[in-house]
């Protein structure tokens, strides 16, 4: 192998190492940022969920909302989410499908599933803008229960979980003046979106960080091995030239 070719390959591997290491560090910094936000959103979500059991609603239809990322390079998190949602859809027929994220939409659209609604959020969307449109809110209010499929950190491990948006039981309806049930449900649906979306995004960042860190470590090992090969070839060529010079003197 020519040394020039090895040098070109070493440069490529070095650039890959820099790129993957940078992506890993970016994911880690974003994780620290979103971890604090998730804790605040979680409190709002749980508080509104507590009051939900006092509200009576009479609906018939069901819906499943599948959260995936817009980008790849985050391990098997998207595939695992799609697999779990598919197992649920095989058992439960006649359920409307709503996709959040590019990967889930591409898969279900390719497999010719009827998608009731496709939702795509920007990757760097602010928390204030992270909410359903009025049309989507009205659509979701027509369902008896909504099932979220998303990734969640459980005991420091990433798990794919199914979350019931509406509780399966109700106590007595709140009899209080000036209490707007519809307005409360709208806020609760948006809080649930923020909480579950951010949790899923946090898991996506963690998977990407782990994947990029692994790729960075592997490229570093390849870089060192190629350096060793380069030095051996150079040493072999120097030894060969010295032997040729010695043989020339002997002649």
Are 232 and 240 spatial neighbours (Cβ–Cβ below 8 Å)? Answer: no
- 78 against 156, higher pLDDT: 78
- Return the exposure string of 92-118: e unless at least 16 CB atoms fall within 10 Å of the residue's CB, then b: eeebbbbbbbbbbbebbeeeeeeeebe
Domain interval for residue 163: 37-208
Q: Is residue 23 part of a domain?
A: no
Percent of the chain scored above 90 by pLDDT? Answer: 30
- pLDDT at res. 175: 53
What is the distance between the alpha carbons of residues 193 and 12, in angstroms, rounded to a whole number?
Answer: 41
| Predicted confidence (pLDDT) per residue in 86-98, tens digit | 999 999 888 999 9
Reading the block at residue 205, the tokens are: 């960042």
Q: Is residue 214 part of a domain?
A: no
**What radius of gyration, in Å, describes the C-alpha atoms of the chain?**
27
183's CB contacts (< 8 A; 6+ apart) are none
Q: How far is CA 98 from the centre of its chain?
A: 17
Per-residue pLDDT for 104 more than 90?
yes
| Predicted confidence (pLDDT) per residue in 199-208, tens digit | 999 999 899 8
| Predicted confidence (pLDDT) per residue in 14-71, tens digit | 888 888 888 888 888 888 888 888 988 888 888 888 777 777 566 778 999 999 998 8
The residue-averaged pLDDT of 109-132 equals 89
Q: Is residue 14 part of a domain?
A: no
Q: Is residue 58 part of a domain?
A: yes
> Phi first, then psi: what are they for 163, rounded to 5°?
-115, 130
The residue-averaged pLDDT of 218-234 equals 86
Q: Is residue 67 part of a domain?
A: yes
Confidence band of 211 (pLDDT split at 50, 70, 90): confident
Residue 197's closest CA among 121, 104, 114, 249?
121
Per-residue pLDDT for 177 more than 80?
no
Q: Is residue 221 part of a domain?
A: no
What is the distance between the alpha carbons of residues 201 and 96, in angstroms, rounded to a whole number?
Answer: 23
3-state secondary structure of 220: helix
Q: Is residue 218 part of a domain?
A: no
Per-residue pLDDT for 147 more than 80?
yes
What is the distance between the alpha carbons of residues 56 and 166, in angstroms, rounded to a whole number?
Answer: 11
Count of beta carbons in the 10 Å neighbourhood of residue 212: 22
Q: Identify the CATH number of the domain in which residue 120 sits.
A: 3.40.1380.10
- 36 against 170, higher pLDDT: 36
Domain total in the chain: 1
Q: Is residue 184 part of a domain?
A: yes
- pLDDT at res. 179: 67
- pLDDT at res. 107: 94
């Amino acid at each position: 192998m020519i040394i020039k070719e090895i040098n070109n390959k070493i440069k490529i591997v070095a650039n890959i190492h820099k790129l993957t290491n940078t992506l890993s560090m970016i994911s880690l910094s974003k994780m620290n940022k979103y971890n604090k936000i998730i804790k605040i959103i979680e409190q709002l979500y749980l508080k509104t969920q507590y009051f939900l059991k006092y509200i009576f609603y009479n609906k018939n239809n069901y819906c499943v909302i599948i959260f995936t990322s817009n980008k790849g390079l985050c391990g098997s998190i998207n595939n695992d989410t799609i697999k779990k949602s598919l197992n649920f859809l095989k058992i439960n027929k006649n359920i409307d499908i709503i996709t959040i994220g590019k990967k889930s939409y591409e898969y279900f659209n390719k497999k010719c599933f009827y998608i009731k609604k496709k939702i795509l959020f920007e990757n760097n969307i602010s928390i204030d803008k992270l909410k359903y449109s009025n049309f989507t809110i009205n659509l979701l209010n027509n369902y008896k229960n909504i099932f979220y499929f998303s990734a969640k950190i459980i005991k420091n491990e990433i798990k794919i979980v199914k979350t019931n948006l509406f509780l399966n039981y109700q106590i007595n309806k709140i009899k209080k003046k000036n209490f707007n049930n519809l307005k409360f449900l709208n806020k609760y649906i948006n809080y649930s979106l923020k909480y579950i979306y951010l949790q899923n995004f946090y898991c996506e960042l963690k998977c990407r960080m782990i994947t990029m860190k692994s790729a960075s470590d592997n490229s570093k090992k390849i870089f060192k091995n190629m350096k060793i090969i380069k030095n051996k070839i150079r040493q072999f060529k120097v030894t060969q030239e010295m032997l040729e010079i010695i043989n020339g003197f002997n002649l």
